[in-house]
Amino acid sequence: MNTHLRYINGYPPHLIEQVQRLVESEKLGAWLKQRYPSHHDIKSEKALYDYVMAIKNSYLKKSAPLSKVAYDGKIHAINNALGMHSFVSRVHGGKLKAKNEIRIASVFKDAPEPFLRMLVVHELAHIKEKEHNKAFYQLCCHMEPDYHQLEFDARLFLIHLETKK
């Protein structure tokens, strides 16, 4: 398997093959652009904080407060943002619960808004559910009904960043 496909490791093989074809034909960027035409404007930490709090106050108003919300250039997208930890590692959920901080990988500073929203929803859900279990994903889908599609497409976005020429 090509290394960029690690982002979608665990998804059904026919989906992985479709993505691989899009990458090989250099059409993944156009596919993403058509589906998600514009990037968000939430660039500063203040803007990110307000954005996160708006979602939190809509769905998780009574949950524990957040001490920090930040873009973090040290987070490698695959390990901590939404990557393989979804399938193998529970580390970042545990860390989040202990600290109640939300750190978003800087690569999502310049991304379509739905992907940022999906990440924020994912991190907010960890306030209540540490593990990636059924209750966790139910909470994600409560905050963002299109959560699963967005998570998959955000992974394609990461593949695109890694493979674009």
CB closer to Zn ion out of 23 and 121: 121
Amino acid residing at 43: K
Backbone φ, ψ for residue 133 (5° rounding): -105, -175
CB closer to Zn ion out of 48 and 140: 140
Per-residue contact string for residues 40-69; x = within reach of Zn ion by CB under 5 A: ------------------------------
Closest CB 96 distance from Zn ion, rounded Å:
8
CB closer to Zn ion out of 4 and 132: 132
CB 131 within 8 A of CB 91: no
Q: Exposed, middle or buried: residue 100 (CB in 10 Å: 0-12, 13-18, 19+)? A: middle
Q: Which of residues 81-110 bind Zn ion (CB under 5 A)?
A: 93
Calpha distance 54→46 (Å, rounded):
12
Closest CB 3 distance from Zn ion, rounded Å:
22
CB closer to Zn ion out of 93 and 114: 93
CB closer to Zn ion out of 25 and 149: 149
Question: Which residue matches tokens 């409560």?
Answer: 142
Closest CB 149 distance from Zn ion, rounded Å:
17
Kind of pairing, strands 101-105 and 68-72? parallel
CB 160 within 8 A of CB 30: no
Q: Which of residues 111-130 bind Zn ion (CB under 5 A)?
A: none
Position closest to Zn ion via CB:
93
DSSP state of 119: H
* Total residues interacting with Zn ion, rule: CB under 5 A: 1
* Interface with Zn ion (CB under 5 A): 93
